[in-house]
Structure 1
Amino acid sequence: MKTFFKIVLAVLAILLIAMFVIGKPYHYEKSIVINAPLEKVYAQASSMKAFNQWNPWMNLDPNLKVTYTGNSGQAGDRYCWVGNDEVGEGCHEITALVPNQKVATKMLFKKPFESDATSDLLFSTEGNATKVTWNMDCELDYPMNLMKLFMDGQMDKSYGDGLQKLKEISEK
């Protein structure tokens, strides 16, 4: 029994140390090259309704409830969602637009836990194609920051699926 408690204490100590070593900031980004003109690709991301045509999280709940507010394609363009446990609840808003270069957004998550993040879509030309880089930045409070150990894999799948769908839509 003493050995069991020593193991439990050792694991807890390692997690506690890891929590502080890992830190709170989290950054993720993924890029794709799309064989379509810059203006066409940018148009697929410069409004929340267009973004949601390839947003990978929109397909996780067939009964997802989405409401749009603000002026489409302008700062303040926003959608809020309420969904199942997989998608939770929150809002996503365009905070700034630099035509054919950048769409900056802020996400406010309400469920399954409260947090916020910023995300940018960056556009540049590569020959006759368009490079899109999608990034996200947030801070995860202790002990939630331990999730960072597993987030890259999930983010890679989600962002990869979304960017692939953006590519398919844009190359039509």
Structure 2
Amino acid sequence: MMFKKIGLGVVAVLLFFILVGWILPSEFKVVRTIRIDAPADIIFNHVKDLRQWQNWGVWFKRDPNMQVSYAGPESAVGMKSSWQSETQGDGEMEVVAIEKDQRFIYTLTFPDMGMGSTGEITLRDKEGETVVIWHDYGDVGGNPFLHYVAFFMDRMIGEDLQMGLENLKVISEAEFQRM
């Protein structure tokens, strides 16, 4: 009798989490912004070349043993990076659009998780500084458990985006000061 009650309780809790998962949105959007005291062209040079991301992206710092490979045209639409990492996961990034010194758009795919996203980094001149805005957004589909991932995505990657922007600020401002 006691096992039956425990079993029913477990099923009820599982059903509750599935129902809540269905109610949660499947779409997510994470946005972070920073002001950088350097012209857009200096900053954009660090963004448009995926090889440069190792200098400012936080994921590369967390796993110095990450295996990264590149393919396609350098600093252009179609450039790809792929990585394998025991701590940061495996994935692929592809440049899908570039507006020189203004906008950089890419797609991310994470085959192990069965999900991906689109990212945009936009640069705007504002009173002698460059405002850099990093968006990451996507839709996790119909899986109610991935809806929880979408719900918590800002908490999961928001700090990483902000730290990446801060690293980008440091290297871009240092380069501008050397000029």
Tell me the TM-score normalized by structure 2.
0.87
3-state SS in 1 of match to 2:107:
strand
Distance 1:114 1:17 in 2: 21
Query: Contact 1:109–1:116 (CA<8 Å) still a contact in 2?
Result: yes
Q: How many residue pairs align between the two structures?
A: 170
- Structure with greater helix percent: 2
Task: Give the residue type in structure 2 aligned to 1:108.
Answer: T
Is contact 1:88-1:110 (8 Å) kept?
A: no
Distance of 2:58 and 2:78 partners within structure 1:
22
Indicate if the aligned counterparts of 1:24 and 1:139 stay in contact, CA closer than 8 A: yes
The answer (yes or no) to whether the contact 1:54–1:166 under 8 Å persists in 2 is yes
Native 8 Å contact 1:78 1:93 kept in 2? yes
In structure 2, stretches of 5+ residues that fail to align are 175-179
For 1:34 and 1:99, locate their aligned partners in 2 and report how far apart those are by CA, in whole Å. 17
Deviating beyond 6 angstroms after TM superposition, the runs of 4 or more aligned structure 1 residues are: none
Question: Relative contact order (alpha carbons < 8 A, sep ≥ 6): 1 or 2 greater?
Answer: 2
Aligned position for 1:148? 150
Equivalent position amino acid for 1:34 in 2: I
CA distance in 1, matches of 2:134, 2:90: 22
What is residue 33 of structure 1 aligned with on the other side? Answer: 35
Structure 1 match to 2:130: 130
In structure 1, the gaps of 5 or more residues are none
1:10-25 correspondence runs (5 A): 10-25=12-27
Query: Root-mean-square deviation (CA), in Å?
Result: 1.7
Counterpart residue type for residue 118 of structure 2:
T
| C-alpha displacement of 1:5 | 4.6
